[in-house]
């Protein structure tokens, strides 16, 4: 199996990404979609078996291990990255916030001997598009999944990255290799130029590492939807749910919607997709509901104003009123679906779709 190009490792040694302040924190309730139990229940209709309460963050960068550890205090977490510098920063971020469970590994996700699995959940967010052979990367991750395992991937979409890719190619032709050189060019560019407008509109380039990741990365592939789905099809994994902005719940319908957008040279954003390996399917009848553990702490406190939890599955969440919070608190212990009125059952099913509640067959 091919190794990751050394140029990618060198890039992240120079520019660890993202460069959030070490004291930057997140609320545990906002990590609810990273919770392994919630994801497993959504796609398998049960809680994960003990031997698959393991999470791999493949290409973890300098930040992701912290919110994953916050969301999964009882799970084993392996953070894998090519860059030692990114791993050191990620480890320090975790330690500063009291997170000691993640294991940090330096290495190439294409190496089957590193973090061999099996894992119940693998997160590969913003990584496959930096591989020379994205399919080899996806297949390597699929082999690490246990039966019923879930993989989240994010890849760049062509029309979301159109301007960035154009600028990146131009900078490469001009042999521009440092953020400082790019900023000098921006300072000299005329108002209204494509380069100046991109910098005025993009939040990505507001930091040195963000600029380098967006415009100076040595290896980038952007995908149209059919090329992305061909990649997924070659992996043997099953598409479960798109989770980018505005995504439809049915993967085939969402793919058709994106094709129509691409005919207009538009995109819903970069593609985010959950994939499964021999998943059993969610519980759609009977069973019981229980609260996502990431929400327990925030719901135990009174709120003077509606509680807003960040949207993670393609759409914003509606603020939770006192009545909503009181309803969700009922599920701190499992509640049988049969014990709910039709109205309550509909509410519980809606919250299970959002991952606020878990619905299990038993």
Mean pLDDT of 80-85: 96
Q: Put the strands of the sheet holding 288-291 in their side by side order.
A: 335-336, 288-291, 357-360
- Write out the H or E segment, with its range, that includes residue 152: strand 145-155
Percent share of the chain, pLDDT over 90: 91
Peptide bond into 80 cis (omega under 30): no
Domain range list for the chain: 6-158+220-276, 166-214, 288-360
Kindly give, in sequence order, each residue whose CB lies less than 8 Å from that of residue 19, ignoring residues fewer than 6 positions away: 62, 207, 208, 209, 210
- The CATH code of the domain at 6-158+220-276 is 3.40.50.150
**What's the pLDDT at 302?**
80
pLDDT band for position 2 (50/70/90)?
low
**What's the pLDDT at 3?**
58
Residue 338 has pLDDT above 80, yes or no: yes
**What's the pLDDT at 162?**
95
Q: Rounded CA gap, 143 and 119, in Å? A: 10
Tokens of 32: 């609810």
Per-residue model confidence as pLDDT tens digits over 119-160: 999 999 999 999 999 999 999 999 999 999 999 999 999 999
Q: What are the Cα distances from residue 62, in Å, to 57, 92, 153, 154, 228?
A: 11, 9, 18, 17, 26
- Look at the pTM and tell me if it is higher than 0.75: yes
Helix 162-173 and helix 208-215, axial crossing angle in degrees, nearest 10 = 90
Q: Rounded CA gap, 221 and 48, in Å? A: 34
3-state secondary structure of 362: coil
DSSP string, 14-38: HS-S----TT----GGGGGGG-HHH
**What's the pLDDT at 149?**
98
Mean pLDDT of 40-48: 97
Neighbours of 339 (CB within 10 A): 11
Mean pLDDT of 115-119: 95
Place of tokens 């979301």: 160
DSSP string, 274-339: EEESS------SSSEEEE-GGGHHHHTS--SS-B-----SSSPPPPB-HHHHHHHHGGGS-EEGGG
**What's the pLDDT at 314?**
87
Place of tokens 């969440």: 317
Residue 226 has pLDDT above 80, yes or no: yes
**What's the pLDDT at 315?**
87
What is the average pLDDT value for the chain, to the nearest integer? 95
Mean pLDDT of 281-295: 96
Per-residue model confidence as pLDDT tens digits over 3-35: 566 899 999 999 999 999 999 999 999 999 999
């Amino acid at each position: 199996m091919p190794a990751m190009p050394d140029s990618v490792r060198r890039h992240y040694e120079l520019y660890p990404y993202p460069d959030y302040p070490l004291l930057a924190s997140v609320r545990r309730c906002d990590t609810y979609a990273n919770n392994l139990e919630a994801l497993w229940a959504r796609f398998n209709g049960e809680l994960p078996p003990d031997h698959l309460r393991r999470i791999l963050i493949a290409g973890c960068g300098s930040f992701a291990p912290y919110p994953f550890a916050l969301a999964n205090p009882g799970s084993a977490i392996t953070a894998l990255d090519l860059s030692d510098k990114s791993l050191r920063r990620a480890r320090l971020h975790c330690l500063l916030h009291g997170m000691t469970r993640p294991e940090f590994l330096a290495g190439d996700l294409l190496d089957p001997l590193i973090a061999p699995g099996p894992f119940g959940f693998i997160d590969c967010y913003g990584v496959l598009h930096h591989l020379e052979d994205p399919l080899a990367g996806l297949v390597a991750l699929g082999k690490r999944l246990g039966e019923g395992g879930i993989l989240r991937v994010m890849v760049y979409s062509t029309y979301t990255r159109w301007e960035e890719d154009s600028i990146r190619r131009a900078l490469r032709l001009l042999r521009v290799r440092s953020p400082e050189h790019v900023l000098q060019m921006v300072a000299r560019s005329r108002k209204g130029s494509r380069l100046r407008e991109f910098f005025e509109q993009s939040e990505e380039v507001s930091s040195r590492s963000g600029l380098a990741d967006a415009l100076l990365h040595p290896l980038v592939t952007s995908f149209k939807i059919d090329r992305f789905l061909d990649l997924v099809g070659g992996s043997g994994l099953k598409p479960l749910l798109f989770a980018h902005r505005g995504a439809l719940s049915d993967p085939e319908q969402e793919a058709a919607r994106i094709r129509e957008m691409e005919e207009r040279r538009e995109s819903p954003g970069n593609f985010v997709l959950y994939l499964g390996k021999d998943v059993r399917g969610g519980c759609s009848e009977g069973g019981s509901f229980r609260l996502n553990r990431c929400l327990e702490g925030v719901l135990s406190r009174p709120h003077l104003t509606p509680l807003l939890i960040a949207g993670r599955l393609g759409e914003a969440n509606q603020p939770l009123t006192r009545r909503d919070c009181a309803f969700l608190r009922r599920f701190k212990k499992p509640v049988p679906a049969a014990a709910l009125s039709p109205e309550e059952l509909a509410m519980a099913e809606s919250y299970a779709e959002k991952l606020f509640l878990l619905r299990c067959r038993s």
